[in-house]
Amino acid sequence: MVISMKLGATREQVEHVCKRIEDFGYKVHSIRGEERVVIAAVGSGDVTHCVESLQAAPGVESAVRISAPYKLVSKQYQAEKSRIRVDSATIGGDDFVVIAGPCSVESEKQILTTAHAVAKAGAKMLRGGAFKPRTSPYDFQGLELEGLKLLRRAREETGLSIITEIMSDKDVELVAEYADMLQVGARNMQNFALLKSLGKAGRPVMLKRGLSATIKELLMSAEYVVAHGNPHVVLCERGIRTFETATRNTFDIGAVPVLNELTHLPVILDPAHATGKSALIPPLARASVAVGADGMMVEVHPCPEEAFSDGAQSLTIEQFNTMMEDILPYIKLWKDVRAAAALARA
């Protein structure tokens, strides 16, 4: 921790702060600058509590922790990227994994048609919502159990691994029975009750970044899942909320190299939710491969116009096929970059 005292802080205030730091079990280094006193605290203890306490102490301008607040998800804990096995697919390994499927599971025909098509085009996982988080209580809320059963059916027919959203800690067991991977939506990224229960889910988790979550907060939410017993977490950047309205959100592609410096967890990108417009997906798909993400998630619907939700950002099957062809040479380059990096490490 580094604590800056206010200009004009009294000797008593400085001494009080030093005493508090020692009470928390840290060693004090006090430095008298030209303008103010700065105190460094060295050691180990309950950092968060100590920092918060000092922020409330008289005469303190700021108290800042230096060490990262996450541990298990950090690069320091594990230098090499985690390979997350999701049934037949592996995220974080030697393949750029494409996850595709409709926003919502709507009918047997819709999900099976889509599943067969995306499998043929090269997707490794099928997405589809059975429990849908909708802004309005009057909108389609998903087929629930019926939707889960249809996803299982699609899995049996195509061999695709299944990912679907989980919205409440109450439903963990149910959803884990049907899906290969559980998705936490952006609006639940800090639903801590849910995160804790996913620690015991026995299934890998895809954690989507909240609309206004910092990268540090995303990592802290992942830390919740891991600290509660489940190390199989994949992160997903899906656009953040900014002032710009030309796209639904702003696609923060820079999060990929930032996360790659901080964590061993794989990172995938979701340009569809980030922008809300299907026409923007193909160029952003190319960029997603080039930037070095571990995979990508896109929405595909046999007839986007008839989708119960998110039609505007869904690709048709034909558009998806074209996109997959488009990114093929980029995926080849991606494999070269990975291989070169592996070689450099060896």
Size of the site for a copy of itself (CB under 8 A): 109
Integer angstrom CA distances of residue 48 from 12, 41, 202, 222, 263 = 24, 13, 30, 18, 21
54 burial via Cβ count (<10 Å: 0-12, 13-18, 19+): buried
- Provide the token pair at 68: 């990262």
Smallest separation, CB 156 to a copy of itself (Å)? 29
Cβ atoms of 6 and 59 within 8 Å: the answer is yes
Nearer to a copy of itself, 101 or 271 (CB): 271
Give the footprint of a copy of itself on residues 193-212 (CB under 8 A).
193-196, 210-212
Does 36 sit near a copy of itself (CB under 8 A)? yes
Smallest separation, CB 122 to a copy of itself (Å)? 18
Nearer to a copy of itself, 137 or 343 (CB): 137
Does 94 sit near a copy of itself (CB under 8 A)? no
Give the footprint of a copy of itself on residues 261-300 (CB under 8 A).
261, 271, 274-275, 278-280, 283-284, 286-292
Does 223 sit near a copy of itself (CB under 8 A)? yes
Smallest separation, CB 10 to a copy of itself (Å)? 16
Using alpha carbons, select from 166, 160, 95 the residue that is nearest to residue 328: 95
Does 325 sit near a copy of itself (CB under 8 A)? no
Contact pattern from residue 305 through residue 324 relative to a copy of itself, giving x for each residue in contact according to CB under 8 A and a dash for the rest: xxxxxxxx-x----------
Does 215 sit near a copy of itself (CB under 8 A)? yes
**Phi, psi (5° rounding) for residue 35?**
-100, -40
Give the footprint of a copy of itself on residues 155-184 (CB under 8 A).
167-171
Nearer to a copy of itself, 176 or 291 (CB): 291
Which are the contacts of 97, defined by CB distance < 8 A and separation ≥ 6?
89, 90, 91, 124, 125, 268, 294, 295, 296
Using alpha carbons, select from 180, 99, 185, 181 the residue that is nearest to residue 142: 185
Smallest separation, CB 56 to a copy of itself (Å)? 3
Nearer to a copy of itself, 159 or 193 (CB): 193
Out of 10, 31, 146, 173, point to the residue binding a copy of itself (CB under 8 A): 31
Question: Rounded to an integer, what distance in angstroms lies between the CA atom of residue 346 and that of residue 343?
Answer: 5
Using alpha carbons, select from 68, 76, 19 the residue that is nearest to residue 48: 68
